Each structure stands twice: as C-alpha cells, then as structure tokens.
C-alpha cells in the first residue's frame, strides 16, 4: 500500500515537473469556424511534436476585435506573445516600435535558423521594412480572384471554360447573361476597398499612395483618385444602374456570396480564401476560376495582385523563454508540410516556395483546378513599387471611408471623381493625424 502510494506520488511529481518545464505562450487569433478548428489542429500538432513549449491559441473575435484586444492588453501589460493582425493593421503595428518584436530580430536573437528568401517575395514584401527586414510572420495571406458560374455561362451561350479576362469581357458577358435570362445579374464582389480599389490599382500598376504606397515613410499621401480608378468607379456606378453589377455591402460585403451561391450573379470576385466556402455552397452548379479582370488599354496591366489576410506579430514584454518558443513555433509553422496543408485546406496562399512546390508534387493543383489561380496571379510579374502592397496608418478607418464614399457614389450623391477625391482628402487627414501621433 505504502509502496504504491509512493510510486504514484512520484509519478505525479515527475509528470508535474514535466508540465512545469513546458513554457506556455499565448497566441491570440481571429480564425473562427472551420479555419479556427484547423488552426487548433496545427497548434496541437506542434505541441505534440516537442517537449519544451505549449502554445495556447485563443479566439478573440473578428480581425479588428483581435487587434484592439491585443493593444488594450498591451496597455494593461497583459499582452500575449503572439497576435494575429490583419494586413490593414500593418501600418499601425509597424509604427509601434517599442511594442513589437520584429521577427527577423527575434529569430536572430534566439539563434533560430531563418531564411527570409525562402518566402514568396510577393507575400513577405508587404511585411518587410525599407531595409528588407521581415517584421512579422506571414500566416494566412490571400489575394482576390474571380469565380464564375460555368452552368450559367453555358446557358447564356458563352464558353463554359473561358472566364472573362478584361473588364470589357465582364461587361459583354454580363450583358449576354442578363439578356439571355440565364441569370438576373452579371457580377458582384466582396471587399470594395480591397478588391475594387487597392487591387485594381496594383493590378494596373497605378500608385495607391505616394512614397511607394506608404512604404517609404509616414509622410505618404493617398493617390487613388487617378484616371484608372475614377474610370473604374464610374463604370461600377453605371453597371449598378443597369443591373449588371450588384453591390454586396460595405467591409467584406456580406451580401455578395449569397448572390453568387443563389445563382443570381454569374461572376463573383473575392478572396482566394473564399474558395472553401464557394465549393461548399455551389451545390447546384459548377464553379470556374479566373484572374481579376483588367482594362487592356492601360499600359502595364495586368501587373500583379496584392495580398490581404493576416500575419503574426510578436509583442514585447514577455520572458526570454517564451520568445525561444515563439521562434521555434514559427519555424514549425513555416515548414513546407504545415504550410502546404494549411494552404490546401483553406485557400490561403502558400507562403513559401517550398510549400508551393510540395503542393505541386502532391498533385493538389491537378486534383483541384483553379486552386493555383491566386498564386499565379500574385506572381504574374515581379512587384513594382505600386504593386508590392500598401502601408498606411489609421488604415482601418480609411477602409471605412472608402466604403462610405463608394456608397455615396452608388446612391447618386456624388460622381466617381468627387467620391475618390473625398477618399483622398479624408484619408490624408487621418494619415496626417497618424504621422503626428507617431513622430
């Protein structure tokens, strides 16, 4: 009796000390639903793969909620080691020099082998400072692509295997679809700001802001009121009036996906990470994939599209032991197997060349035609200073301004030039404020 007790208490003690030896580190993220389950699976895989660290993921709501929760926690000295921040918050995070632990520096300090050139330039460019240092760890990056309803295309007398390539195609196809009665609407889109303004600009090699879209410094100013953008917004207004285009709402455009799923709109532009949702909901029709349309008379188009999604930022003020764990965990996360698995499951881009190659090797793109449209579009041309991304402070609010001005355009309150001029002037006021607060 006595012996068994001693043995069991000994066993308990060793197991306790083993548990104590594991350093815990917290990761706040914004991945709900199936993506969240997958994320937890990845973390569980990491925790089981080694003895030293335990990563504890916590779901904190939407992207803005997660970001503001982390910032509030930082102010109260309760911050997690890792926080997932969407691309729009990049400018804010980068400017917070004392709050973030840049990834390149973390990896060097912790002696973790780290090769920035293994990552796809189009992805990491967004999160790299002007000296070429990677500041955050890419995790879920996506880019907008075009989805279309093959069955409706055929019903309208179009070729079911040819997606529209230019905006002239979109208009012509849409008219044919509506006239033939195959569907009541030509196209809809998620993310007006991200898809129909930022990516439109990059795709046509037009600047979004001065100083390399804000990469060059806080003194940047918006320039989205150029002729290409104005022409496009004018067209969107015209097409909305004729019914060719249906507006899906502000922000991510929640009303857009149902329009595509219900076969109301034959063409749909949204994140490549919407692919899982599209495949799951397109029960009664076959989906085709294409790159974003462009205006073929604009010189330099198509250039390459830019990314959205989120990266992982490391916050200052935790113990050294935790940062060792973070470095180790990041190496695991960016390993080809983990990345390829995440990419194939979610539709997010593979962030390393190795993960892309692995997916090719595994025959993923042959089995899932269209799944590589995003990555091909991202890497279509080497990024220019107009198409490597954007970096503006207060950009969460500027996104809202873009939505508001677009609504003012659609409701007839403003013409395209005025709406975009107002985006620029209101946005610049916020940029100046950000500059003042971070000087």
Partner 1 sequence: MKRTIFGNQGLPWLLLAPQLAVTLVFFLWPAGQAVRQSFLREDAFGLKTSFIGLENYAALFRDPQYLNSMQVTAVFSLAVAALSLGLALLLALALDRMLGSARIYTTLLVWPYAVAPVVAGIMWWFIFNPTIGIMPHMLRALGYDWNHGLDGSDAMVLVVIAASWKQISYNFLFFVAGLQAIPASLREAAAIDGAGPVRRFLTITLPLLSPTTFFLLVVNITYTLFDTFPVIHATTEGGPAQATNILVYKVFNDGFLGLNLGSSAAQSVILMAIVIALTVIQFRWIERRVEY
What's the half-sphere exposure (Cβ side, CA atoms, 13 Å) at 17? 5
Q: Of 116, 119, 120, 118, whose CA–CA distance to 132 is shortest?
A: 116
CA dist 102 → 98, 125, 315 (Å): 10, 14, 9
Q: Is residue 436 close enough to count as binding partner 1 by CB under 8 A?
A: yes
Backbone angles phi, psi at 244, to 5 degrees: -65, -35
Residue of 61, 64, 116, 216 interacting with partner 1 (CB under 8 A): 64
Beta bridge partners of 138: 311
Binding mask 369-408 for partner 1 (x = CB under 8 A): -------------------------x-xx--x--xxx-xx
d(CA 242, CA 38): 42
Min dist CB 97 to partner 1, Å, is 8
DSSP string, 282-314: --SS-EEEEPPPB-TTSTT-S-----EEEEEEE
Question: At its nearest, how many Å lie between partner 1 and the CB of residue 426?
Answer: 8
Determine the Cα–Cα distance for residues 214 and 357; give it in Å rounded to an integer: 32
Residue count at the site for partner 1 (CB under 8 A)?
35
Closer to partner 1 by Cβ: residue 372 or 403: 403
Per CB under 8 A, 97 contacts partner 1: yes
Provide, rounded to whole angstroms, the least separation between the CB of residue 51 and partner 1: 34
Report, in Å, the least distance between residue 71 CB and partner 1: 5
Regarding 95 and contact with partner 1 (CB under 8 A), the answer is: yes
Q: Is 413 in the site for partner 1 (CB under 8 A)?
A: yes
Least distance from C-beta 59 to partner 1, angstroms?
A: 18
**Quick check: 26 binds partner 1 (CB under 8 A)?**
no
Q: In what order do the strands lie in the sheet with 82-86?
A: 53-59, 23-29, 82-86, 308-314, 137-142
Residue whose CB is less far from partner 1, 234 or 404: 404
Beta strands in 127-217 (DSSP E): 137-142, 144-149, 185-189
Shortest gap between Cβ of 92 and partner 1 (angstroms)? 6
35 makes contact with partner 1 (CB under 8 A): no
Q: Judge whether 219 and 211 are in contact, CB under 8 Å.
A: yes
3-state secondary structure of 128: strand
State the nearest-atom distance from the C-beta of 438 to partner 1, in Å: 5
The verdict on 239 binding partner 1 (CB under 8 A) reads: no
Question: Nearest distance from residue 407's CB to partner 1, in Å?
Answer: 4
* Cβ pair 141, 356 in contact under 8 A: no
Burial (CB count within 10 angstroms: exposed 0-12, middle 13-18, buried 19+), residue 16: exposed
Kindly state the smallest distance separating residue 90's Cβ from partner 1, in Å: 13
Of 98, 111, 113, 363, the one binding partner 1 (CB under 8 A) is 98
Query: Residue 371 or residue 396: which is nearer to partner 1 going by CB?
Result: 396
Name which of 310, 393, 347 is nearest 144 in CA terms: 347
Q: Min. distance of Cβ 36 from partner 1 in angstroms? A: 22
Tell me which residues in 249-268 interact with partner 1 (CB under 8 A).
249-250, 255, 258-259
Sequence-distant (6+) residues with CB within 8 A of 439 are 218
The Cα 146–Cα 161 span in angstroms is: 13
Applying CB under 8 A, among 22, 54, 59, 99 the residue interacting with partner 1 is 99
Among 38, 40, 96, 116, binds partner 1 (CB under 8 A): 96
Residue 60 near residue 30, CB atoms below 8 Å = yes
Nearer to partner 1, 98 or 363 (CB): 98
Tell me: does residue 73 bind partner 1 (CB under 8 A): no
Summarize as ranges the residues that interact with partner 1 (CB under 8 A): 64, 68, 71, 74-75, 92, 95-99, 247, 249-250, 255, 258-259, 394, 396-397, 400, 403-405, 407-408, 410-411, 413, 426, 433, 436-439
């Amino acid at each position: 009796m006595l012996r068994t007790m001693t043995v069991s208490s000994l066993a308990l003690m060793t197991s306790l000390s083993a548990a104590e030896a594991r350093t815990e580190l917290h990761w706040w993220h914004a991945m709900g639903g199936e993506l969240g389950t997958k994320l937890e699976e990845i973390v569980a895989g990491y925790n089981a793969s080694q003895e030293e660290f335990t990563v504890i993921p916590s779901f904190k709501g939407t992207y803005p909620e997660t970001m503001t929760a982390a910032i509030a926690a930082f102010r109260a000295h309760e911050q997690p080691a890792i926080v997932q921040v969407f691309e729009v918050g990049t400018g804010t995070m980068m400017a917070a020099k004392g709050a973030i632990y840049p990834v390149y520096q973390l990896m060097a300090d912790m002696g973790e082998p780290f090769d920035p050139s293994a990552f796809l330039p189009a992805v990491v460019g967004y999160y790299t400072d002007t000296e070429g240092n990677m500041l955050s760890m890419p995790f879920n990056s996506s880019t907008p692509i075009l989805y279309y309803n093959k069955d409706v295309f055929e019903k309208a007398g179009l070729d079911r295997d040819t997606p529209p390539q230019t905006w002239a195609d979109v208009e012509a196809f849409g008219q044919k679809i509506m006239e033939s009665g195959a569907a009541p609407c030509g196209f809809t889109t998620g993310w007006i700001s991200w898809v129909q303004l930022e990516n439109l600009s990059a795709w046509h090699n037009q600047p979004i802001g001065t100083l390399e879209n804000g990469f060059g410094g806080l003194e940047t100013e918006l320039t989205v009121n150029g002729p290409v953008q104005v022409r496009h917004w004018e067209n969107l207004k015209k097409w909305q009036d004729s019914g060719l285009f249906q507006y899906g709402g502000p922000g991510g455009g929640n009303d857009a996906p149902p329009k595509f799923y219900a076969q109301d709109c034959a063409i749909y532009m949204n994140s490549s990470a919407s692919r899982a949702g599209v495949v799951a909901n397109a029960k009664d029709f076959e989906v085709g994939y294409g790159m974003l349309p462009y205006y073929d008379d604009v010189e330099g188009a198509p250039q390459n599209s830019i990314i959205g999604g989120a990266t992982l930022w490391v916050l200052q003020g935790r113990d050294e032991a935790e940062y060792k764990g973070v470095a180790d965990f990041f190496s695991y996360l960016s390993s080809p197997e983990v990345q390829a698995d995440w990419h194939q499951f979610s539709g997010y881009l593979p962030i390393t060349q190795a993960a892309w190659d692995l997916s090719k090797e595994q025959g993923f793109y042959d089995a899932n035609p269209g799944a590589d449209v995003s990555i091909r579009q991202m890497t279509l041309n080497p990024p220019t200073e107009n198409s490597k991304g954007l970096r503006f402070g207060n950009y969460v609010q500027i996104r809202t301004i873009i939505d508001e001005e677009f609504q003012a355009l659609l409701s007839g309150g403003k013409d395209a030039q005025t709406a975009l001029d107002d985006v620029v002037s209101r946005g610049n006021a916020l940029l100046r404020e950000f500059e003042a607060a971070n000087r």
